[in-house]
């Protein structure tokens, strides 16, 4: 029994690969069917996408989108691990971006310090906005699903109130746009020339995304706190019984989720736009939910998911040029997420049954007197 | 055998999931189809000029601003025989992605390229200098007037709105009118400012109710008839008898509310009387026409003629870029005064504000 059975090892490796493979095959099949159904040639689409992926510029765009999505998805994933559904990432990052932008334009500090302070402000705002939902849940029993959605709307209204010339915004002559004053150079984050031959640089805050991913992994799988959080997420009662203060975990994980959410807008704000205006990217919080699901809340899985979504989103334009609706990308993204969720669930069930059979067989082998020979195998049915 | 049974169940589940997803997918992909079909059905006149158009979020089919641009492009495609390529913005995208859209249009050999909406200003400011041989135009923005190959096409929405405000103030029997804005942005506030100024010029003590359907970045206020209907119905209930909407596709709801209240409404962007169902037509007193289609067509025409537009071009009352419509004969008692104001605005005697006072 101590020597690992090679066939079983092989089987478990196969099972680990089964889910992603099943998801991939399903997603590709469905997308091809949709393409054929809508009168486009799948090969043509594939060709367009491959050509697009080879351009250095597209790669830089893809990475930049992925960096933003990564923050958003990690924010959602922190909630998921604690069994909390933070749908409010969208409102949290937009409010954080507005207030951080206004503060960044207002304060004058030496370069690195300036950016650090602005990032802390953004995280603070995001955490506070998410914290409201946590307090409502802990002290008033309000489901965070409801409260975070409602806080999105309140955040939108608050932003509209603040983003006016009387308050945080300035007008530019000749423009119908309106935004906060431009952030001075000391508060801007320079890009990194990560992709050779591309004039478009990768957001400097990509490094922060990597750090957040590493921190997320370390916190969850290498600390007592992470263990408590996962335990509370898996079973509240069991966690309570083992001495975990669940309400404290709810508040801390929502604050952490909100703090990471506050960073979602930062790469674009500090790295490119340098102002929060009417056309500041919106809706990224919802993309994060899909990517967290896709990445199975795992820091590496989320990174892969974010890159995939970043690629698909940017490739949509080149597809549109070839006469394929950009909606096809939305369909593909939806199919991928659904396939992954369904495939993992299927594989999980199959594995559970296999394990149950295995245990039953071993029990039968080790127990000297064979008790009721036919029934135990059916436990998993 | 058991194994096969399980496998069969799994494939069955996957198949079922795929069918559901496929059905959903088919629904989703339908409405975008007509947006990108390259139509090259023109006469041989234009020497294979390719026009690129980059829409704002919503794209062709938004029954509003983007559609107005699309109408101008279609007119150019059939009338001038140019080829058109249309790309649409996505939600949550950055300036870099807008730049990419413009670059792809440029790299595909389109010239001129028209960016629809002020959101393209920053992106175009970067892309245009990279392609000095290509002519660009941007609608609703004038921050790039100094870029030599960019035409900034803007509209004096406040002037046209002033005139329909003057009409509304004459038409109201109770001295109470309304304004429904789609999304609370400085652009839509120009409509409000002009409308209020026009109404107050006629009746200084008039009561004007103002509401905006959504706040940015929620731009659904331009495409949500139910919200428009609720807002307008509320105004009619509070005593208004004329409501002007600058809410794009939500305007249909405003007309519905006017019809059920037996009151009047004023349309925007296009002559909405002409596009409305026969039973709705009587309530559409007039419309503030904003000729985005003309601006787009002008840009294409100028390129076909070999003299592409550059610099700032303001479509105001003087050049007929904005106007009020007279297709509903019910407006005729009020047009004389409106035309009088029109003359005064054109001569500069009246300066119309662009920001609301209230």
Q: What is the pLDDT of residue A20?
A: 80
CB contact under 8 Å between A178 and B186, yes or no, is: yes
Contacts of B33 in chain A (CB under 8 A): 38, 325
Domain assignment of residue A328, yes or no:
no
Q: Are residues B220 and B335 in the same domain?
A: yes
Q: Least CB-CB distance to B141: which of A156, A175, A268?
A: A175
Q: Least CB-CB distance to A26: which of B14, B91, B141?
A: B14
Is the minimum CB–CB distance between A141 and chain B shorter than 8 Å? no
Q: Are residues B215 and B149 in the same domain?
A: no
Is the minimum CB–CB distance between A284 and chain B shorter than 8 Å? yes
Supply the DSSP symbol for A184: P
Percent of chain A whose predicted confidence (pLDDT) is above 70: 92
Burial class (CB in 10 A: 0-12, 13-18, 19+), A220: buried
Dihedral sign computed on CA atoms, order B215, B219, B224, B225: positive
Contacts of A173 in chain B (CB under 8 A): 142-143
Q: Are residues B180 and B245 in the same domain?
A: yes
Between CA B326 and CA B341 the distance in angstroms is 16
Using pLDDT thresholds of 50, 70 and 90, give the confidence band for residue A368: low
The CATH number given to whatever domain includes residue B244 is 3.40.50.2300
Residue A197: CB atoms within 10 A of its CB come to: 10
Q: Are residues B58 and B134 in the same domain?
A: yes
Of A239-253, B1-15, B73-87, B88-102, the range with the lowest mean pLDDT is B1-15
Q: Least CB-CB distance to A175: which of B36, B93, B118?
A: B118
CB contact under 8 Å between B185 and A156, yes or no, is: no
Residues 6 or more apart in contact with residue A62 via CB below 8 angstroms: A53, A307, A310, A311, A314
Q: What is the pLDDT of residue A117?
A: 97
Is the minimum CB–CB distance between A283 and chain B shorter than 8 Å? yes
Of A300-309, B94-103, B175-184, B218-227, the range with the lowest mean pLDDT is B218-227
Q: What is the pLDDT of residue A13?
A: 67
What are the pLDDT digits (tens) for B12-40?
444 444 444 444 433 433 333 333 444 44
- Residue length, chain B? 358
Domain assignment of residue A283, yes or no:
yes
Total domains in chain A come to: 1
Q: Are residues B327 and B229 in the same domain?
A: yes
Q: Are residues B94 and B111 in the same domain?
A: yes
Q: Is A187 helix (H, G, I), strand (E, B) or coil?
A: helix
CB contact under 8 Å between B141 and A159, yes or no, is: no
CB contact under 8 Å between B22 and A313, yes or no, is: no
Q: Are residues B122 and B173 in the same domain?
A: no
pTM, to two decimals:
0.85
Domain assignment of residue B240, yes or no:
yes
Using pLDDT thresholds of 50, 70 and 90, give the confidence band for residue A267: very high
What are the pLDDT digits (tens) for A322-340?
888 888 888 899 999 999 8
Instruction: Tell which of A11, A73, A176, A269 to mutate to test the B interface (max B CBs under 10 Å).
Output: A176
Q: Is the pLDDT of residue A342 over 80?
A: yes
Q: Is the pLDDT of residue A343 over 80?
A: yes
Is the minimum CB–CB distance between A44 and chain B shorter than 8 Å? no
Domain assignment of residue B30, yes or no:
no
Contacts of A342 in chain B (CB under 8 A): 13-14, 17
Average predicted confidence (pLDDT) for chain B = 87
Between CA B228 and CA B257 the distance in angstroms is 8
Q: What is the pLDDT of residue B7?
A: 39
User: How close, in Å, is residue B18 to chain A by CA atoms?
Assistant: 6
Domain assignment of residue A347, yes or no:
no
**Which chain B residue has its CA at the smallest distance from A165's CA?**
B186
Q: What is the pLDDT of residue A371?
A: 54
What are the pLDDT digits (tens) for A8-57?
666 666 666 788 888 888 988 999 999 999 888 999 999 999 999 999 99
Of A93-97, B30-34, B100-104, B255-259, the range with the lowest mean pLDDT is B30-34
Using pLDDT thresholds of 50, 70 and 90, give the confidence band for residue A6: low
A194-212 mean pLDDT: 93
Using pLDDT thresholds of 50, 70 and 90, give the confidence band for residue B43: very low
B55-61 mean pLDDT: 85
Q: Are residues B168 and B281 in the same domain?
A: yes
Domain assignment of residue B99, yes or no:
yes
Q: Least CB-CB distance to B17: which of A268, A317, A342?
A: A342
**Which chain B residue has its CA at the smallest distance from A33's CA?**
B22
What are the pLDDT digits (tens) for B204-220?
999 999 999 998 878 88
B109-119 mean pLDDT: 95
Residue A37: CB atoms within 10 A of its CB come to: 12
Give the ipTM of the model, two decimals please.
0.84
CB contact under 8 Å between B92 and A327, yes or no, is: no
**Which chain A residue has its CA at the smallest distance from B26's CA?**
A34
Domain assignment of residue A1, yes or no:
no
Domain assignment of residue A45, yes or no:
no
Between CA B313 and CA B291 the distance in angstroms is 13
Supply the DSSP symbol for A272: I
Domain assignment of residue B10, yes or no:
no
Q: Are residues B224 and B212 in the same domain?
A: yes
Range of the domain at B336: 157-290+322-347
Domain assignment of residue A143, yes or no:
yes
Q: What is the pLDDT of residue A370?
A: 54
**Which chain B residue has its CA at the smallest distance from A91's CA?**
B217
Q: Are residues B187 and B103 in the same domain?
A: no
Q: Are residues B89 and B213 in the same domain?
A: no
CB contact under 8 Å between B38 and A323, yes or no, is: yes
Using pLDDT thresholds of 50, 70 and 90, give the confidence band for residue A373: low
Is the minimum CB–CB distance between A325 and chain B shorter than 8 Å? yes
CB contact under 8 Å between B85 and A338, yes or no, is: no
Distance linking the first and last C-alpha atoms of chain A: 26
Q: What is the pLDDT of residue A379?
A: 43
Q: What is the pLDDT of residue A327?
A: 86
Is the minimum CB–CB distance between A350 and chain B shorter than 8 Å? yes
B216-227 mean pLDDT: 87
Q: What is the pLDDT of residue B344?
A: 97
Total domains in chain B come to: 2
Q: Is the pLDDT of residue A354 over 70?
A: yes
Domain assignment of residue B31, yes or no:
no
Q: Are residues B298 and B283 in the same domain?
A: no
Domain assignment of residue A11, yes or no:
no
Q: How far is CA A23 from the centre of its chain?
A: 18
Q: Is A179 helix (H, G, I), strand (E, B) or coil?
A: strand
Domain assignment of residue A368, yes or no:
no
B192-214 mean pLDDT: 97
Range of the domain at A276: 66-301
Q: What is the pLDDT of residue B33?
A: 37
Q: Is A334 helix (H, G, I), strand (E, B) or coil?
A: helix
CB contact under 8 Å between A178 and B37, yes or no, is: no
């Amino acid at each position: 029994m101590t020597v690992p059975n090679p066939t079983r090892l092989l089987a478990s490796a196969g099972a680990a690969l089964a889910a992603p493979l099943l998801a991939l095959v399903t997603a590709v099949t469905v997308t091809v069917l949709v393409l054929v159904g809508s009168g486009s040639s799948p090969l043509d689409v594939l060709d367009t996408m491959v050509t697009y992926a080879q351009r250095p510029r597209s790669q830089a765009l893809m990475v930049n989108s992925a960096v933003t999505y990564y923050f958003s998805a990690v924010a959602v994933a922190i909630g998921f691990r604690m069994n909390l559904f933070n749908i409010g990432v969208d409102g949290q990052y937009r409010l954080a971006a507005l207030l951080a932008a206004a503060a960044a334009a207002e304060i004058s500090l030496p370069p690195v310090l300036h950016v650090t302070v602005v990032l802390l402000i953004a995280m603070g705002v995001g955490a506070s906005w998410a914290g409201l939902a946590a307090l409502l849940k802990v002290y008033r029993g309000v489901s965070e699903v409801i409260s975070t959605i409602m806080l999105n709307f309140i955040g939108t209204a608050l932003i509209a109130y603040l983003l006016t010339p009387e308050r945080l915004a300035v007008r530019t002559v000749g423009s119908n746009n309106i935004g906060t004053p431009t952030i001075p150079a000391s508060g801007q984050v320079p890009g990194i020339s990560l992709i050779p031959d591309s004039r478009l640089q990768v957001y400097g805050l990509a490094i922060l995304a990597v750090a957040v991913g590493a921190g997320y992994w370390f916190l969850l799988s290498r600390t007592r706190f992470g263990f408590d959080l996962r335990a509370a997420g898996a079973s509240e009662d069991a966690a309570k019984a083992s001495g975990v203060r669940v309400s404290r975990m709810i508040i801390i994980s929502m604050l952490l989720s909100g703090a990471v959410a506050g960073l979602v807008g930062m790469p674009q704000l500090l790295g490119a736009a340098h102002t929060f205006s009417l056309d500041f990217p919106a809706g990224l919080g919802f993309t994060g939910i899909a990517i967290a699901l896709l990445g199975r809340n795992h820091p590496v899985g989320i990174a892969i998911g974010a890159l995939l979504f970043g690629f698909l989103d940017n490739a949509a334009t080149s597809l549109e040029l070839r006469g394929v609706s950009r909606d096809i990308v939305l369909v593909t993204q939806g199919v991928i997420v659904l396939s992954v969720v369904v495939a993992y669930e299927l594989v999980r069930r199959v594995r559970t049954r296999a394990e149950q059979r295995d245990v039953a067989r071993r029990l039968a082998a080790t127990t000297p007197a064979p008790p009721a020979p036919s029934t135990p195998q059916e436990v998993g049915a | 055998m058991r194994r096969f049974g399980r496998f069969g169940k799994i494939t069955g589940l996957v198949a079922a999931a795929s069918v559901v997803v496929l059905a959903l997918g088919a629904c989703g992909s339908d409405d975008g189809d007509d947006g990108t079909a390259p139509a090259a059905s023109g006469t041989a006149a234009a020497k294979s000029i390719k026009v690129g158009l980059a829409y704002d979020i919503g794209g062709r089919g938004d029954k509003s601003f983007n559609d107005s641009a699309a109408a101008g492009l279609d007119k150019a495609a059939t009338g001038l025989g140019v080829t058109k390529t249309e790309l649409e913005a996505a939600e949550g995208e950055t300036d870099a992605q807008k730049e990419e859209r413009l670059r792809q249009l440029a790299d595909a050999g389109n010239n001129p390229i028209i960016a629809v909406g002020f959101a393209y200003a920053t992106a175009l400011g970067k892309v245009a200098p990279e392609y000095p041989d290509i002519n660009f135009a941007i609608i609703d923005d004038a921050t790039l007037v100094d870029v030599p190959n960019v035409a900034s096409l803007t509209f004096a929405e406040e002037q046209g709105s002033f005139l329909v405000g003057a009409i509304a103030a004459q038409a109201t029997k109770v001295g109470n009118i309304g304004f429904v804005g789609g999304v609370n942005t400085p652009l839509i506030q120009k409509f409000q400012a002009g409308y209020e100024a026009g109404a107050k010029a006629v009746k200084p003590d008039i009561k004007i109710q103002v509401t905006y359907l959504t706040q940015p970045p929620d731009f659904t206020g331009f495409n949500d008839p139910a919200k428009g209907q609720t807002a307008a119905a509320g105004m009619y209930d509070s005593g208004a008898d004329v409501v002007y909407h600058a809410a794009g596709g939500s305007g249909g709801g405003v007309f519905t509310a006017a019809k059920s209240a037996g009151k009047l409404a004023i349309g925007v962007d296009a002559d909405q009387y002409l596009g409305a169902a026969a039973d709705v037509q009587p309530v559409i007193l007039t419309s503030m026409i904003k000729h985005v289609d003309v601006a787009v067509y002008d840009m294409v025409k100028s390129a076909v003629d070999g003299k592409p537009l550059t610099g700032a071009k303001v479509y105001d009352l003087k050049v007929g870029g904005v106007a009020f419509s007279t297709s509903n004969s019910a407006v005729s008692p009020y047009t004389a005064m409106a035309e009088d104001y029109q003359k005064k605005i054109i001569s500069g005697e009246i300066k119309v504000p662009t920001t609301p006072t209230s």
